[in-house]
Amino acid sequence: MAAEKQAAHVENVGSEPASATDVENYHGLTTTCILAYVANLFMVFVQMTVLIGSGAFARDITNVVGGTDKATWFAQIIVIVTAALGPPISQAANYWGRKWFMVVGGGFGFAGSIIISRATTITAALVGQVIMSLSLGTQPLIHAISSEILPRRYRAVVQSGVMNAMQAAGVVTLLGGGAMIRDLHEGFRAFWYLNAALYGTASISYALLYNPPPRPTQLGTTLQKLRRLDWAAYILICTGMTLFVMALTWADNPYPWSDARVLSTFILGVGALAALGVYETVFKKDGMFHHSLFKDDRNFALANVLMFVEGTASFALNSYFPLEMAVIFETDPVRVGLRYSVVFFASSVGVALVSIVVVKRRMLRWPLVVSYVFITLFFVLMAPISLTDSNNVWGYAVILGAGIGICLTLAVTTAQISAPPELIALTSGLVIAMRAFGAAVGLAIYTAIFNAKLPGAVGSKVAAAVMPLGLSPDALEPFIGALMSNDQELLMSLPDVNPAILGAGAHAMREGYLVAFRYIYITAAAIGVAGITAAACIIDPKDAFTLHVDAPVESDSTVDLQNESKA
């Protein structure tokens, strides 16, 4: 009975006085805190390698195991799982602790990576992707743990460290993975073996290095904890997200919007998400979308908008920027990876500088506005590029990198700093889920645009270029197909094909691709304007940047003993 009363008390997040976060309970940086943060960085590193690799190397996997029309699903599976499982896992972690969710999540990542590396069919590869993606359901906990074990004043610095680990993983993935697949598509197997090793190491690191004291919310029996979970919301978000993203991914790839499979799936998905909104707004005020997150100011709601926009931008980059570089400007996968890596290098520099500004000036709004201006500017600059703009694109990537790094770091910081300490994990889960939702919606929109525009653009450009040179009309369609699949044997077997026709056709095909990419960038730029608007409405929470630690990784007695031993 006593446990029940205490458990009920800690559930009332509104009972904590507003001044609680002003208490300066920071005792200095300890070894235990450092080790826990290092374990966090290691886990986010490996999660980023599979996130980037799933988008950058999906076509290499499908070229080996088949199912090239399903390449988009490697990225979509990740965003579905992250969006659907992030909030439930974050809420459950309040009752059972963070540690074992991270350890078990790493185990799923290890198993899924092994399956992908051994896959011989597209079905096996996608099953492995689903299992591996379960590890990314713990992604919000990384952001939560990093912030709650260190003072609120340094929250932007802490998140910048997480961001820099992600950027380092992006560089390693693109350059190292690109080197693995440069001469052989089967090189993706070595890449996923490496991911398995990284996941295993990350999981063991968490098991050994992260041992926080129990939280008050961990009191109570298992049955009591299960009753506190928002089961209706979990069912609705998992169902709604899965069906909604499936419908968007199927639309025009391979089914038209008028197809019953697309329409029915889309309507059911939207209906489930709408029901979730009504349920959380009217019937469940302390559930997955806890009303305490919205009561103080508008920052949490705006942070979700910012994360949605960032998700659409980052996945447009992840899935289409490397493809554009490979088709238009580069033939070496390592150089394609190097162009993409410029984004991560610039992001690391930008986020390091802005975190210092945030600590000193205690501002979030204007750095966020600048970051979304950079992101939008990148898409505006990329839309009209031509085949002669290879050097300019290097500079455009720097602009995007600075914007992506700053906005992701500060949007997470904005959400966390505005939330009650008891809800920091749930806060992180919701904003990361919103990012994944934005990525899923954006990727589906971009894929639909790309698939709709590419055939016509390439067909008209190639026909105009090669028909005057003498290519037979009967050979035009197979010629275009062979060009787009880079089937040299078929190209040389077609009648009337000569070096002049091959050169003109390849040049025209690249111009056709540019047309399809252009529409993607125009759409992304329009979405970026929404990010600028939302950022401009952020309220700077200057008084919230205190030396209060929301969830110390050590008890006060442990810290006192360590300080005495140092003295």
- Summarize pLDDT for 385-394 with one digit per residue, the tens: 999 999 999 9
Residue of 271 and 408 predicted with greater confidence: 271
Query: Residue 431 above 60 pLDDT?
Result: yes
What pLDDT was estimated at residue 267? 93
Residue of 488 and 327 predicted with greater confidence: 327
Task: Write out pLDDT tens, residues 332-360.
Answer: 877 888 888 888 889 888 888 888 888 88
What are the contacts of 129-132 at 24+ separation with CB within 8 A? Answer: 129/54, 129/73, 129/74, 129/77, 129/78, 130/77, 130/81, 132/50, 132/108, 132/195
Of the listed ranges 102-116, 119-133, 144-158, the least confidently predicted one is 144-158
How many C-beta atoms lie closer than 10 Å to residue 121's C-beta?
11
8 A C-beta contact, residue 251 and residue 444: yes
Of the listed ranges 93-102, 450-459, 483-492, the least confidently predicted one is 483-492
Q: Which residues contact 44 (CB under 8 A, 6 or more apart)?
A: 139, 142, 162, 165, 166, 169
Q: Which residues contact 129 (CB under 8 A, 6 or more apart)?
A: 54, 73, 74, 77, 78, 112, 116
What pLDDT was estimated at residue 391? 92
| Cα angle: 450, vertex 86, 292; to 5 degrees | 115
Instruction: Tell me the mean pLDDT in the region 237-258.
Output: 80
Tokens 């290499």 label which residue?
Answer: 60
Residue 388, burial from CB neighbour count under 10 angstroms (0-12, 13-18, 19+): exposed
What's the whole-number average pLDDT of the chain? 84
Q: What is the pTM of this model?
A: 0.81
Of the listed ranges 10-14, 70-74, 204-208, 229-233, the least confidently predicted one is 10-14
Distance (Å, whole) CA 150 – CA 497: 66
Query: Residue 557 above 50 pLDDT?
Result: no
What pLDDT was estimated at residue 378? 94
What pLDDT was estimated at residue 274? 92
Query: Residue 560 above 50 pLDDT?
Result: no
Whole-angstrom CA distances from 120 to 183, 185, 192, 213, 490 are: 19, 13, 14, 45, 25
E runs forming strands in 29-105:
none
Question: What are the phi and psi torsion angles at 251 (to 5°)?
Answer: -60, 120
Share of the chain above pLDDT 90, in %: 27
What pLDDT was estimated at residue 14? 40
Helix (H) or strand (E) holding 332: none
Distance (Å, whole) CA 558 – CA 49: 36
For residue 76 the two structure tokens come to 């979509």
What pLDDT was estimated at residue 565? 45
Residue of 258 and 530 predicted with greater confidence: 530
Residue of 245 and 316 predicted with greater confidence: 245
Q: Structurally, what CATH architecture does the domain formed by 27-230+284-458+510-543 represent? A: Up-down Bundle (1.20)
What pLDDT was estimated at residue 211? 83
What pLDDT was estimated at residue 512? 92
Query: Residue 12 above 70 pLDDT?
Result: no
Q: What's the gap between Cα 490 and its chain centre? A: 39
Residue 366, burial from CB neighbour count under 10 angstroms (0-12, 13-18, 19+): middle
Q: Which residues contact 148 (CB under 8 A, 6 or more apart)?
A: 421, 424, 425, 549, 550, 551
Query: Residue 172 above 70 pLDDT?
Result: yes
Instruction: Tell me the mean pLDDT in the region 444-463.
Output: 87
Residue of 8 and 253 predicted with greater confidence: 253
- Give yes or no for a cis peptide into 254 (omega within 30° of 0): yes
Distance (Å, whole) CA 311 – CA 510: 27
Instruction: Tell me the mean pLDDT in the region 131-160.
Output: 88
Query: Residue 559 above 70 pLDDT?
Result: no
Query: Residue 11 above 60 pLDDT?
Result: no
Query: Residue 519 above 50 pLDDT?
Result: yes
Instruction: Tell me the mean pLDDT in the region 545-562.
Output: 64
Model confidence band, residue 567 (pLDDT cutoffs 50, 70, 90): very low
Instruction: Tell me the mean pLDDT in the region 401-410.
Output: 88
- Residue ranges covered by each domain of the chain: 27-230+284-458+510-543, 232-283
Instruction: Tell me the mean pLDDT in the region 196-221.
Output: 86
Whole-angstrom CA distances from 208 to 29, 202, 203, 243 are: 19, 10, 9, 39
Query: Residue 449 above 80 pLDDT?
Result: yes
Q: Which residues contact 242 (CB under 8 A, 6 or more apart)?
A: 80, 84, 269
Sequence length of the chain is 567
Query: Residue 556 above 70 pLDDT?
Result: no
Of the listed ranges 48-62, 123-137, 268-282, the least confidently predicted one is 48-62
Distance (Å, whole) CA 393 – CA 388: 10
Whole-angstrom CA distances from 528 to 324, 433, 522, 554 are: 20, 19, 10, 42
Query: Residue 232 above 80 pLDDT?
Result: yes
What pLDDT was estimated at residue 5? 44
Query: Residue 157 above 80 pLDDT?
Result: yes
Query: Residue 69 above 80 pLDDT?
Result: no
What pLDDT was estimated at residue 15? 39
Model confidence band, residue 308 (pLDDT cutoffs 50, 70, 90): very high
